[in-house]
Amino acid sequence: MRKMTIHKEGYTSIALCILFIFVLNAFIQFFFPEALVVKWFVYILSFALFVIILQFFRNPHFEIDKDETQILCPADGKVVVIEETVETEFLKDKRIQLSVFMSPINVHVNRNPISGVVKYFKYHPGKYLVAWHPKSSTENERTTVVTENSAGVQILFRQIAGALARRIVWYVKEGDVVEQGSQFGFIKFGSRVDLFLPLGTKINVSIGDVVKGGRTVLAELVTNTKQKAVNEPIIHKEVPEESTQPLFEAQAEPTLVIEHEIVAAAKPKTIKKITTPATPKTKTASTAKKATTTAKKKKP
């Protein structure tokens, strides 16, 4: 079940907002007690300001489906970059860069895209170019985190400050064991998160897609299990070679059946030869005996 709370990073900002609203309304009430239009305008403005600041720091709680083969989205926002590039800070090789832009109305909680051990962390002070600027990934204020999962796959991701977001907060350091979907940081008032994925990773989103932190599966890693599956046809080719002899032995059985058919066909011919001529031979022998007996009686 999803639950919404206020993030701890917003306590100070919300308190300052309430103080500002109180002072503004007190000022209007004291100096313009009869100006109803001005007073209602300030009331509406104060309410809108409070709601906007409040929604900046909302913190949703929900169940997260963990999977080592999947890359979860680290933040709410929109996909603005998917391209092959060279990561020069830590990995120093070709990677697929996937960037998510967070507007001021998005949830600004940042979540770990994978589970594993933090192998590298560094904070970089810098400029405050707009978050969608091509150079914001290397020149803006930012943090770089590299997490390695149990399979040895390293994923690099960055928090990048924008023109409005001038405060990056992080909760991890080198050596920490992190869980997929757990919070690793927070960026105030709009920003951007970059991920650098291994080549060959299956990307599940497109540029312009709206994504949700901790819920949208951005990509799927190529695991060792999938690589072994590619070799399975080679293993299966050896099986028919081993089973060749039993197959040929089984083919010898029809020969025996044919021989039985020949014997069965010969039986009727043998019966005909024995039974048909047997009757006349028996009758001839008995007739000869009678003739001999008759001849003996006639001699005296």
Q: What residues are labeled active site?
A: 191
What is the three-class DSSP state of 259? helix
* Residue 161 contacts residue 139 (beta carbons within 8 Å): no
Strand partners, 86: 94
CA-to-CA distance for 161 and 96, rounded, in angstroms? Answer: 21
Q: Read out DSSP for 15-73?
A: HHHHHHHHHHHHHHHHH-TT-HHHHHHHHHHHHHHHHHHHHHTEEEE------TTEEE-
* Residue 188 contacts residue 167 (beta carbons within 8 Å): yes
Torsions phi, psi for 142 (to 5 deg)? -165, 165
CA-to-CA distance for 157 and 52, rounded, in angstroms? Answer: 28
What is the three-class DSSP state of 282? helix
CA-to-CA distance for 191 and 163, rounded, in angstroms? Answer: 8
* Residue 16 contacts residue 49 (beta carbons within 8 Å): no
Closest alpha carbon to 99 in 125, 54, 62, 132: 132
- Cα dihedral across residues 68, 74, 76, 80: positive or negative: negative
